[in-house]
Structure 1
């Protein structure tokens, strides 16, 4: 099969037939008119959680948790070779890649044979099992592509996963299902869903369903068969045979006093029949494994062999139960053969609760500093480095800053990509790991970016013609940049990763009183407090900054709050008595809403569990407030204002640990709220969860909208779930949803959109309001395994972390509001990269560059531009508007690829699936019962190029 595939490109119908027969041949035969129990041996290996990635792989720090992934893979392969009936699935490519690189060529050939025979099957196949609530879709696609590419190049089609497997994430996003469908998966299995939802689905036999994961893509493009596993991802009670388990082994010597075969078989049949009652077919699945199990795989397989033998032996006496080694794809094949009609789901699986007072909605905000750093790293590592490598060609790998070592540069980029991929793990960016592991994730991201800076410097040197040393000010968020604070003359290079021009404010720490700023054409730019840069699409522009010996102060400060600030687009008013926001007006559309904003905690302080309903406290995972009434931090704000020609600021102080800058730039259609929270005080022995709440005059009628992984928007309703009758037990935590990049409230006239700079949790608890959790500092562990409270400190902030972030507010008429907030959200996710050069630039330096011949249309987003191999690049273009969002921008768009790039000559184009591991015309998926739907097509393309 493999050699045939490699020798020729098969016709679509031949490939379908070949893959079909391959699946059939690798699966054990089932028996009709029997209950077929599919035993799936597996291990769940977190890419960091209680231990770091390295500690888990090598089996270090077993005083924290006994786990060593390299020994699991050693042991499993050894046991698979002893019995051809045995099966095993593996998930996390980050670990498998490490193990594979350590194996001899003979062992690699052995493993390839196991894969080709279907005895070792890869499921999911991403670099990690990503979180679904706090990840951005662009980073998820990248980490999936990395893992799947390795499997594809190593094992060919036999190693290609056919099933998505997210058994541990704490709730499930619709956009993830949409991505999996577009990556060619036949099905999706997970273990966690709300306890009320599970009860209803068990009763109605809807634990297996068809998930329609997009309201814009034409079915079945984003349709995905979805199965809910019966025991999470653990084995049935009493049937765990790992060295970490306490269940007794099968003792099958009848001459011994402790012979227990009859009891084991009886209990197993009872469990199997009980499970069959709540599923729809005569096939059921059992996950035989758990966290970091199979380090001694002999324990598991020896007992599973016996279980299969003794249960099936009863068929001679009329038993109708058949047990077999299986995999998720083999199980899915049998469900497909049943040719049944499956329940349809259109929404998502958030929020997740495992009991009445245990809502897993705190992690939407946990570790907000790490969440922001991950988002910045996504822009820096995955976009800027990749784009510049393509646009500058080979010069990026052997320029003046790479010491001529192409291999070293490629390794550096690979390290950057792997660091970013690991950060997508469901115990990484989610914030649900131990503190030392969170530190390790941040260290990897920082190290990856430092290594990637060599490639960026080489690329910019090639494109600009200047080999001057470039510097990176990575601490601008705390107003630190040694070069700008010491140099009398320097240049700022602004690289824009978006495929359309952007205007971006630049704020730099300096020590002078007045500066001259000039753009690439030598034109002077207003630079009081801030200067606005205009960067071309997929390119850069350069500004020079010179210290003036004499000059006026950069800004005038007023300690009295103005009644209003405005530009040509927006007007913002303040209450003169409180210093708080009071209204927001869009001057273009002539609309005004009442708008007040403040900061609260108390109701969101970490519940210490001392109440009559439950002893569940807030923690890294769980959000559990004590009451429904928030504590107002301050009724008034101490203020001062700054007015310049470029920006107007109102600075507000609510408490020694809570402040904000309300900022309106001259040419901006969005109001910026830059908040600073921390150190959160705990002298009163109370942890606190800090929110900001926007109260408006908009008539929301309980409805609000949040994004799914930064892409499509979903409608929410307070105290409501679309697929079951909710019994609400936590009116605050039970109404929180993940906000990855934006949320909005609206009525027929007004829409207020909030764009966030990181993933956060929020909701609309009261009509007309939108609240967002900003920071969490807790004093109790929530008993979900992490084993320590979420109480972050550091050497710099020993009294608790100080976190700073931005919210961008826009007011528009629905439905055209999307025309403004989607591009705005992309600007925040993929922000410009600033690099600095000291002194004068060479006269022949090219000060401006665009990698495009023309900007892409507003509806089209350039998602990926990255070097694929020596002669080709991977390009992803996406239509970023949902079908219902905009009268103008939701329409289909045509893009001429021949006229797209300025430095690349397109020689050929071939289309792949979303994860780039299959040609699009060869991607086949199981067909499930179709439902009607409409939408427009997203374009994902790979094409070949040469540098012009």
Structure 2
């Protein structure tokens, strides 16, 4: 952390306390309307782990003494996880000095999440949680003056539309980005569209999800030759009588740099921005450890540039913040163009697409997703049981450790998979500690014992004694649990199953029919190759030829065209055509009453189990990949590809952070004419929960169990990258190849699953969305040793429980149920469907919150912003004019507290409503279902 250090309070404290507290836009410095105002923004970018762990990056510096000494100076800070740690170490006198700086608007928090989260590999649920965590700390510590007005994502590697929607619903007035595609940026500079309105939702009525968005001119770095941190090599400003005096040359350079960014009518130079205000980010990675160096040179720069005004210069330089810059843009009262798509994929050069990190470190991506699932369980247990959460049969359900670990895991070098290996290990260690803190929360039937597959035995290196596994259909009531007891039945053969084996190309197999089938689906395999051949939806009388196999792209190490190699960030295959791992697979076939399975063995490092469970409308593909062989000296990027005869015309669809769906078109960008240089990597997009293709009649959807990169490289096909193992660094700073060692240091083995859904194009939306949501928030499985007397239904022991008095509508999801204080809880309800997506699912929903929960009574209810750091009726966002003629960006008319009826909570499509409820716990209900 680079924010704070030794105080010098005896000399400086009084200066900070002299002025009245004025924060927000009212604290902004005075500008000059007839000049070009250059807003200098002193800042640091502190990764929450990257080359070092979070703990290794934490240290102090000397910003506060500089701010205390000079009321004109400003500084912004972002990552609350570092600030909260620092705050806990300070004296009360230091804390009071910092509060005063915040109250005066001279120390400003921007963004305000626990971290600056990634936007490609994250799920919206985890983003909301980590933002809520950071913003709650700022609210509790500094009140209204600690609330950020501006979102600040200067380093993530591409930007999602859903992220903009979430920020808008959290009450932000603007959003500043550092990285967009190099072709996109050139186009925007030419058209003066570096700043515009971003419509973050196709379902929420404007201006609810509209957000003013600006692209910073130089990423988040200072202009060349103007870096004055102790780790910089640029010359300081020398303004005395020395022969090294360089004031004139630096001032001339600065004026040229500044005036090159503005419109011709202001300065008579090239035009990238549309007003007489521009921004310069004065700082970079891990800077301001020695703030004196920066501020001394910035003071000189401001002094000497502004001195030129007496001789006719029209440039005015000042210390500023992102919100003050935004405020000036808003006051310009001009119309801005509107953006509807996202900023994926990101490339910083012709052969440099940052699409590899969509898949990098797949084991961590899965662990992060499971951890979010478990965090919600812990949150719910705390909310439902109140003071009993740490005792009794529920065990210790302290969620704070896991909540903070999940906040760190959302960082754009964590779940993205772009940190060093030892840092990645530390992320996993933090999540594990969070699981331990919640782990003690606890709460007959057709079943089948089948043999543990050879694939599983290989993964565990033959450790353990289990030779069979138990399979049965299990379910849990909403917001509840169900207990299953497992025992061996005397006199029963536990393994009643039939196994058929087939070797690929075995003589006489060409006439065999290999298939599995349940009530809804039939899956057929080609007996000559062992590959999936066809899927049939028996309910809809749909039959689709589907071939699925595993391939690998040869990772580029650089070539004559460009030296760029594949790495943790960048995906760059050596050729557009991938290599087959095997032409086919050897098969094992297992059929029982509960599950039917086909084991496909492609090689000694790639296998798959294709499953149909009784009564389920999906095909499960459980893939196991690794250790990826590299003895041939080739890095490999493994994909699962589906090929069909659907006529898709280059169109496919992916989700945006698990929420709304975006249409993708191969070799096409909505806002500029794409010059495609990488036909594979340049068409990859993040897939958080699902990807699908369709024609006029049929839709094929693949659900994922973690974030992955995916595409449709040719019509009728889908592919998902499941694993990567690379031998070269991609020169983006991490400094090591993506070469995960695994348990035995011979390469990481990864197991995951894809769910395949086949339906009509008209009726698929509703069920496919619900299945995607269920896959993400699957019930948590907790195992406990048996013992005690056998369970009997008539005895006084609870085996099933739900905390709901009545079921929610099928299109509504309880997104959040978390304890805030002993007698207050945070409730988020979300509508799960987009506008027009489903005839039934897209209808408005009405919920009675008054008597929804059985374990507590709602005493009072306050509606909040999405991040729960503002009362909803107090949200007042800046109003922006759009090129479409209507104003945008102002919050809709908010209901007064008196008009909020807890028995009639209405949700429109894609709406999330957040409530802070004061509650009174009841004696524990024994309600069953």
With normalisation by structure 2, the TM-score equals: 0.89
Where does residue 883 of structure 1 map in the other structure? Answer: 835
Where does residue 779 of structure 1 map in the other structure? Answer: 727
Where does residue 145 of structure 1 map in the other structure? Answer: 132
- Work out whether residues 636 and 654 of structure 1, in 8 Å CA contact, stay in contact via their aligned partners in 2: yes
Residues 222/20 of structure 1: CA separation in 2 closer, same or farther (3 Å cut) = farther
Q: What is the CA deviation profile of residues 445-483 of structure 1, one whole-angstrom value per residue up to 9, with x for unaligned ones?
A: 0111011113x14xx3xxxxxxxxxxxxxxxx968999x
Where does residue 405 of structure 2 map in the other structure? Answer: 419
- Work out whether residues 40 and 288 of structure 1, in 8 Å CA contact, stay in contact via their aligned partners in 2: yes
> What is the alpha-carbon distance in structure 1 between the residues aligned to residue 21 and residue 296 of structure 2?
31
> What is the alpha-carbon distance in structure 2 between the residues aligned to residue 690 and residue 839 of structure 1?
42
Where does residue 778 of structure 2 map in the other structure? Answer: 831
1:580 aligns with 2:531: yes
Where does residue 135 of structure 1 map in the other structure? Answer: 122
Moved more, 171-180 or 902-911: 902-911
1:71 is displaced (CA, Å) by 1.9
Equivalent residue of 2:387, what SS? helix
Matches within 5 A, 1:35-54: 35-54=36-55
Q: What is the CA deviation profile of residues 635-685 of structure 1, one whole-angstrom value per residue up to 9, with x for unaligned ones?
A: 111001100001100000111111000000011111000000000000100
- Work out whether residues 28 and 320 of structure 2, in 8 Å CA contact, stay in contact via their aligned partners in 1: yes
Matches within 5 A, 1:10-21: none
Equivalent residue of 1:715, what SS? strand
Where does residue 814 of structure 2 map in the other structure? Answer: 862
1:563 is displaced (CA, Å) by 2.4
> What is the alpha-carbon distance in structure 1 between the residues aligned to residue 807 and residue 467 of structure 2?
38
Where does residue 340 of structure 2 map in the other structure? Answer: 346
> What is the alpha-carbon distance in structure 1 between the residues aligned to residue 660 and residue 21 of structure 2?
33
Where does residue 259 of structure 1 map in the other structure? Answer: 245
**Correspondent of 1:711 among 659, 671, 677:** 659
Q: What is the CA deviation profile of residues 900-945 of structure 1, one whole-angstrom value per residue up to 9, with x for unaligned ones?
A: 1111211121100000000000011011125579966432222221
**Correspondent of 1:558 among 482, 497, 500:** 500
* Residue segments in structure 1 that go unaligned for 5+ positions in a row: 1-18, 58-69, 403-408, 461-476, 487-508, 513-527
1:700 aligns with 2:648: yes
> What is the alpha-carbon distance in structure 1 between the residues aligned to residue 775 and residue 676 of structure 2?
35
Q: What is the CA deviation profile of residues 318-370 of structure 1, one whole-angstrom value per residue up to 9, with x for unaligned ones?
A: 11000000000000000000011111100000000000000000000000000
> What is the alpha-carbon distance in structure 1 between the residues aligned to residue 361 and residue 579 of structure 2?
22
**Correspondent of 2:323 among 329, 333, 341:** 329
Q: Provide the aligned length of Structure 1 versus Structure 2.
A: 845
> What is the alpha-carbon distance in structure 1 between the residues aligned to residue 467 and residue 669 of structure 2?
55
1:399 is displaced (CA, Å) by 3.0
Equivalent residue of 2:188, what SS? helix
> What is the alpha-carbon distance in structure 2 between the residues aligned to residue 539 and residue 817 of structure 1?
28
Residues 139/626 of structure 1: CA separation in 2 closer, same or farther (3 Å cut) = same
> What is the alpha-carbon distance in structure 2 between the residues aligned to residue 866 and residue 26 of structure 1?
35
1:158 aligns with 2:105: no
> What is the alpha-carbon distance in structure 1 between the residues aligned to residue 32 and residue 181 of structure 2?
34
- Work out whether residues 218 and 936 of structure 1, in 8 Å CA contact, stay in contact via their aligned partners in 2: no
1:290 aligns with 2:284: yes
> What is the alpha-carbon distance in structure 1 between the residues aligned to residue 910 and residue 120 of structure 2?
25
> What is the alpha-carbon distance in structure 2 between the residues aligned to residue 480 and residue 821 of structure 1?
33
- Work out whether residues 49 and 57 of structure 2, in 8 Å CA contact, stay in contact via their aligned partners in 1: yes
Residues 821/108 of structure 1: CA separation in 2 closer, same or farther (3 Å cut) = same
Where does residue 690 of structure 1 map in the other structure? Answer: 638
Where does residue 947 of structure 1 map in the other structure? Answer: 921
Where does residue 817 of structure 1 map in the other structure? Answer: 764
> What is the alpha-carbon distance in structure 2 between the residues aligned to residue 925 and residue 370 of structure 1?
37
Where does residue 62 of structure 1 map in the other structure? Answer: none
> What is the alpha-carbon distance in structure 1 between the residues aligned to residue 457 and residue 476 of structure 2?
22
Equivalent residue of 1:836, what SS? coil
1:800 aligns with 2:747: yes
- Work out whether residues 609 and 621 of structure 2, in 8 Å CA contact, stay in contact via their aligned partners in 1: yes
Q: What is the CA deviation profile of residues 863-898 of structure 1, one whole-angstrom value per residue up to 9, with x for unaligned ones?
A: 100001121100000001111211110110001112
The two structures, once aligned, show a CA RMSD in angstroms of 2.0
**Correspondent of 1:91 among 48, 72, 78:** 78
> What is the alpha-carbon distance in structure 2 between the residues aligned to residue 221 and residue 661 of structure 1?
45
**Correspondent of 2:386 among 387, 390, 393:** 393
> What is the alpha-carbon distance in structure 2 between the residues aligned to residue 93 and residue 772 of structure 1?
35
> What is the alpha-carbon distance in structure 2 between the residues aligned to residue 306 and residue 316 of structure 1?
17
With normalisation by structure 1, the TM-score equals: 0.87
Q: What is the CA deviation profile of residues 370-394 of structure 1, one whole-angstrom value per residue up to 9, with x for unaligned ones?
A: 000000011012x000001112221
Equivalent residue of 2:105, what SS? coil
> What is the alpha-carbon distance in structure 2 between the residues aligned to residue 445 and residue 554 of structure 1?
39
1:293 is displaced (CA, Å) by 0.2
1:71 aligns with 2:60: yes
1:120 aligns with 2:61: no
- Work out whether residues 562 and 641 of structure 1, in 8 Å CA contact, stay in contact via their aligned partners in 2: no
**Correspondent of 2:824 among 861, 872, 877:** 872
Where does residue 238 of structure 1 map in the other structure? Answer: 225
**Correspondent of 1:605 among 554, 565, 573:** 554
Where does residue 265 of structure 2 map in the other structure? Answer: none
Q: What is the CA deviation profile of residues 416-447 of structure 1, one whole-angstrom value per residue up to 9, with x for unaligned ones?
A: 11111100000000000000000000011011
Where does residue 643 of structure 1 map in the other structure? Answer: 591
